[in-house]
C-alpha cells in the first residue's frame, strides 16, 4: 500500500533541478517607473527527497490507468483516451519525501531524540505522467503529458520530455510527441527542443581536439536530427523559430554518406567501394544558411535556457529499453 503500481525505471541521480525564478528588472535612468519588466534567473533547487519515474502497463493496471486518464481530463481539453488504455504504457513522475525531516541548520544545538516508532511511513506522491503507445506507426514517443497544477513551473515537464526521448534513443526509434500538440504543450516542447539543439550546436567541432571558432563546419538538418534524436521536422521548425539563421546564399551541399557506413566505424570497406567507383558525383548547389555560436549563446542567455541535460541516461535501470544488439552507451554531442 502507498507504492505506485508498475516498476521503477529511472531515478534522478543528482537530486537537483534547474528552475527559473522571475525577478523584477530595475531600469536605471530617468523616468517615473523604475521597473523595466521581468527577467528570469536560473536557480538550482536541491530536493531533499527522491525523483523517480515508474513504468505502468495499461493492460496490467487498467483501472489505475483509466482513473489517471480521467483525472488528466480535468486539466487537458484535448484528452480523448479514457477507457481503452490497454495499448498504452504510462510513465509516472513520482516524488518521495525524505524519511525524516532535516534536524536543523548547521550550528544549531542538537535536538533531543524523538521516538519515531509511531510515525507513518513515507508515501510517494505522483506529481505527473506521460503516456506512450506501445505500437505507434508514426514513431510517437509520447501521446499525453501532464504535470499536476501544484507542481507546474518547476522544470518537471522538461524532465518527462527528456525521459521520453531517452527511451526513444535506447529503442533506436527517431520520433516525437503525437501531433497536433496543444498550445501549452507546444510552448514546453519549443523550449525543450531549443535547449537540446543549442547544446548540440555548441558541441560541434569540440569533440576531437581544440576547436577554432573562426573555422566553419558544414552540417545539415539531418545531422541535427541524428545528434539530438529530435524529428527532422521538429528540428527545422525550432531552428526557424530561434531566429538565428542568416542567409548564406547558394553553395555545395553536404556530400552524401556512403550507404552502410555507420557512425563510429572505421569505414575501410566503404572507402574501398568509393575508390572502385571512380570519380565521385558532383554535389549540387543548395540554399545555405549561416549560424554563429555566439548568437546561440546569446539566445540561451536571453531565454534563460539551461544547458544541463534534464534527463541523465545513467539514472535508468541497467539495460532498460535497450534493443538486442544495440550499444549500451552512445556518445552524446
User: pLDDT by residue (tens digit) across 277-325?
Assistant: 556 677 787 888 899 999 999 999 999 888 888 899 999 999 998 875 5
Q: Are 254 and 220 in contact (CB under 8 A)?
A: yes
pLDDT for residue 316: 95
Q: Is residue 86 part of a domain?
A: yes
The per-residue pLDDT for range 76-134, each reduced to its tens digit, is: 887 777 788 999 999 999 999 887 655 554 444 555 555 555 556 778 999 999 999 99
Please provide the average confidence, as pLDDT, over all residues in the chain: 80
Q: Is residue 194 part of a domain?
A: yes
Residues 40-57 as b or e (16 or more Cβ within 10 Å = b): eeeeeeebeebbbbbbbb
> Which of 7-16, 127-136, 253-262 is modeled with the greatest confidence?
127-136
* Residue numbers annotated as active site: 178
Q: How large is the average pLDDT for residues 221-225?
A: 94
Q: Is residue 261 part of a domain?
A: no
User: Which pLDDT band holds residue 191 (cuts at 50, 70, 90)?
Assistant: very high
Q: Is residue 277 part of a domain?
A: no
Strands 125-133 and 7-11: unpaired
The alpha carbon dihedral of 174, 180, 182, 183 has a sign of positive
Q: Is residue 268 part of a domain?
A: no
Weakest-pLDDT range from 47-51, 124-128, 139-143 = 47-51
pLDDT for residue 214: 58
Bigger pLDDT: 45 or 118? 45
pLDDT at 263 > cutoff 60: no
Bigger pLDDT: 257 or 161? 161
User: Which pLDDT band holds residue 198 (cuts at 50, 70, 90)?
Assistant: very high
Q: Is residue 154 part of a domain?
A: yes
Domain interval for residue 76: 7-28+35-100+118-208+216-256+284-315
Domains in the chain, number = 1
Q: How large is the average pLDDT for residues 46-66?
A: 90
pLDDT for residue 324: 59
Q: Are 164 and 141 in contact (CB under 8 A)?
A: yes
Bigger pLDDT: 95 or 34? 95
CA 316 to chain centre: 14
Q: Is residue 127 part of a domain?
A: yes
Phi-psi region at 203: left, alpha or beta (left = phi > 0; alpha = psi -120 to 50): alpha
User: Which pLDDT band holds residue 260 (cuts at 50, 70, 90)?
Assistant: very low
pLDDT for residue 306: 86
pLDDT at 169 > cutoff 70: yes
At residue 67, what are phi and psi to the nearest 5 degrees? -65, -40
Q: How large is the average pLDDT for residues 24-37?
A: 58
Residue (of 36, 16, 17) closest to 26 by Cα position: 36
CATH code for position 127? 3.40.630.30
User: Which pLDDT band holds residue 194 (cuts at 50, 70, 90)?
Assistant: very high
pLDDT for residue 139: 93
What is the C-alpha to C-alpha distance for residues 151 and 163, in angstroms, rounded to an integer? Answer: 18
Bigger pLDDT: 275 or 62? 62
pLDDT at 173 > cutoff 90: yes
- Residue located via cell numbers 554531442: 333
Q: How large is the average pLDDT for residues 265-286?
A: 57
pLDDT at 262 > cutoff 70: no
Structure-block grid coordinates of residue 323: 534493443
Q: Is residue 299 part of a domain?
A: yes
Weakest-pLDDT range from 15-19, 53-57, 158-162, 191-195 = 15-19
Amino acid at each position: 500500500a502507498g507504492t505506485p503500481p508498475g516498476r521503477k525505471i529511472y531515478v534522478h541521480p543528482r537530486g537537483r533541478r534547474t528552475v527559473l525564478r522571475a525577478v523584477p528588472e530595475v531600469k536605471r535612468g530617468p523616468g517615473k517607473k523604475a521597473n523595466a519588466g521581468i527577467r528570469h534567473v536560473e536557480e538550482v533547487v536541491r530536493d531533499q527527497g527522491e525523483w523517480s519515474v515508474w513504468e505502468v502497463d495499461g493492460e496490467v493496471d487498467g483501472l489505475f490507468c483509466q482513473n489517471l486518464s480521467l483525472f488528466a481530463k480535468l486539466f487537458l481539453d484535448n484528452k480523448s483516451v479514457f477507457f481503452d488504455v490497454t495499448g498504452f504504457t504510462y510513465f509516472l513522475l513520482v516524488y518521495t519525501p525524505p524519511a525524516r525531516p532535516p534536524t536543523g541548520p548547521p550550528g544549531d544545538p542538537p535536538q533531543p531524540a524523538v521516538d519515531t516508532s509511531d510515525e507513518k511511513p513515507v508515501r510517494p506522491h505522483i506529481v505527473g505522467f506521460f503516456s506512450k503507445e506501445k505500437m505507434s506507426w508514426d514513431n510517437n514517443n509520447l501521446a499525453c503529458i501532464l504535470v499536476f497544477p501544484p507542481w507546474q513551473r518547476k522544470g518537471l515537464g522538461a524532465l518527462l520530455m527528456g525521459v521520453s526521448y531517452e527511451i526513444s534513443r535506447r529503442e533506436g526509434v527517431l520520433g516525437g510527441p503525437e501531433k497536433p500538440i496543444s498550445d501549452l504543450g507546444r510552448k514546453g516542447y519549443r523550449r525543450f527542443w531549443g535547449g537540446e539543439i543549442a547544446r548540440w550546436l555548441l558541441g560541434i567541432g569540440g569533440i576531437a581536439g581544440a576547436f577554432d571558432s573562426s573555422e566553419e563546419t558544414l552540417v545539415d538538418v539531418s545531422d541535427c536530427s541524428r545528434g539530438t534524436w529530435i524529428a527532422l521536422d521538429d528540428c527545422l521548425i525550432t531552428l526557424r523559430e530561434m531566429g538565428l539563421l542568416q542567409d548564406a546564399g547558394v553553395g555545395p551541399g553536404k556530400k552524401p554518406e556512403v550507404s552502410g557506413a555507420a557512425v563510429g566505424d572505421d569505414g575501410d570497406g566503404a572507402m574501398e567501394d568509393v575508390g572502385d567507383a571512380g570519380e565521385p558525383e558532383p554535389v549540387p548547389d543548395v540554399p545555405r544558411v549561416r549560424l554563429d555560436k555566439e548568437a546561440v549563446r546569446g539566445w540561451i542567455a536571453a531565454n534563460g535556457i539551461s544547458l544541463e541535460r534534464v534527463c541523465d541516461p545513467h539514472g535508468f535501470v541497467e539495460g532498460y529499453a535497450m534493443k538486442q544488439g544495440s550499444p549500451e552507451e552512445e556518445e552524446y554531442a
